[in-house]
Structure 1
Amino acid sequence: MKVKELMEELDQIAPFAESESWDNTGLLVGDMQDEVTGILTTLDCAKETVDEAISKGANVIIAHHPLIFAKMGAVVESGIGRIVRQLIRNDINLIAMHTNLDHQPDGVSHMIAEKLGYTDTEVLISNERDYKKLRVTVPKSSAEQLKKDLAAAGAGNQGEYSECFFEHPITGQFRPSEGADPHIGASGRLEHVEEYMIEAIFEVQDENKVIQALLQSHPYEEPAYDVLSLKLPSDKGLGVSFDFNGSLMQLASLIEEKTGTPIINMVAADQNQISKVGIIGGSGMSYVEEAFGQGIDVLVTGDVKYHEAYDAKLAGRNIIDGGHYMESVMAEGLKALIEDRMTVEVQATEVSTNPFAD
């Protein structure tokens, strides 16, 4: 397997196009034509991580956090430049899967929940996706063939279902001009035709293919159609939620026990039992309004600032700050996702990159 082929498989796990616009994901260091000898998954790529990859015979490191993020004016033997030079000297490829992995239903937040023993999770804050919707009229006799051709071009796919069309009978009228070559009727005469209105959604990137299929399949010289823009909730998004029966302290103890990382801080806004937990791996406090709007009783996240905690307490919201490094469980989680798709040597890092650890 070449790195290019690996990237195509990783794109199926967490499409790189679903990364945030400010993010830096994909192949950051390396060569798409390199043969993959082994993969090492990790939260961060540190000097020690590269040493580990070399010792384990892995020439691909897949990190959650992009090593190259801020603008680099020089690549020298210090700081991030030192790691980049080490990667290049040893022919190690570095791939970043950051916000694209965060936004998957089985992504980083789910991996944290799974580590706690909760595999039955739901997406906490659903993403909205841009779609297009085709609305076209067609003679009843041509409706089935048109739907078949549109489906082949990508129209009518919704989640796990294909060929999803909506139709209803209508009556169309038209008067062909003297220069027209009508499929039905005669030039200069007003015609009334039994037609169907057919509707289907499709991916934005498939618009040209769908319209081409429509024009080639439709029997009319100038078919009447509309293309509408839609925003629909998807099955992907940020964070996860799951049902829990216990106290805030019991949840905090479970996190420490299962992840091996201490709780940084906790906002105990009330003493009620917890029935629904929300997790946003990394820094999730900027999404606190949307998260609690989903009916959770506590948000588990990291990097909670003093004033964010203070505001949460005033609002009666429970917060557990498990630290940003809680995301390190993704090394094992991503390893499992890769092994489910391909037969390639994958190892999860054994190196701690926690900057707060001894």
Structure 2
Amino acid sequence: MILIPEINVLIADDSPLTRKILKALIESDKSLRIIGVARDGIEAVEKANKLNPDVIIMDIKMPNMDGLTALQYILEEKNIPVIVVSSLGEKSSIIAYEALELGAFDYIEKPDDLYYLKDELIKKIHAAYIFSQSEEAKKEFFSEKDISYQPKEKKETETNIEMDFYGVTIGISTGGPREIYDVLPKFPANLNAAIFLVQHIPEKFTKTYAERLNNSCELKVVEAENDMDVKPGYVYVGKGGYHLKLRKGLNGLKIMLSKTPRTIFMPSADILMESVLEHFNNKTIGVLMTGMGDDGAKAMVKIKENNGYTIAESEETAVVFGMPAEAIRLGGANIVLPSYMIANEVIEKVGLRNG
């Protein structure tokens, strides 16, 4: 029998009625408990520090201090996942994306009838909690059959396409939409590599994320689509709700999107890295950056063991030193670097294409 821990939640919203309804919805799940409420951003920061909740539900539009400002203060002090629940009108996508850039775990648009939020809210609170926990805590919370991923063993000898360029995998999560700009814009257009990027972000934002990156990079940044050709000089951003994998095509590698296995986040850094390693072998570069949890850590070990090269972001620059810290702990990092040094290290390893 799986023991479900009690998850402590803090609600920050300036509306007394909204706080009351959210409390009732959340506590309808027996594993969730509201340990405090805040009427504005100032109270949210104070109670986050005092009560140390597992998850925070926070509105954006609040008096005295808005939710975006409070989010920044909270993440500077605590590694607490924050789910933004707010009604932002016409500017919703812009402000929601800004919240994700600052490090919000997820965003939910607040409907007119809050009761429609129940299932989605409970599901995302569970996901936020479990993603912030250790591997041992995850095993207690979810059965391995329900939600797990075990990296497959790579065959010793496997007939692969001989790649004449590198496969660079980047796994990044909390705080990633902002921090990735320390890396991707520094790559030249003639980088001798294809880059595969998994960013844990709500499904509806991955396309916008890719478009924004494309405007700031010399490399061509695209949201990955099924059957795309894999080419050097491109960044393939994992599509929300799908795993980003590779497969052999008639004339090279192709992108393959998959719904299996079911994991907490789709796409998953572990699954991407395993797939890239399968096809690029020792021309695989693994990069693991800011984020809660341990997605990508086991695959980093595999890449290193198979003579690829792995880079973990240092605590100095990581918004949340979770994923890279776990890779380091497992022995999966060849080198540990601050975010602003990662691009140069990759360039040195993969080189540039002629012409």
TM over 0.5: no
Greater share of residues in helix: 2
TM, length-normalised to structure 2: 0.24
TM, length-normalised to structure 1: 0.24
Larger radius of gyration: 1
Greater share of residues in strand: 1
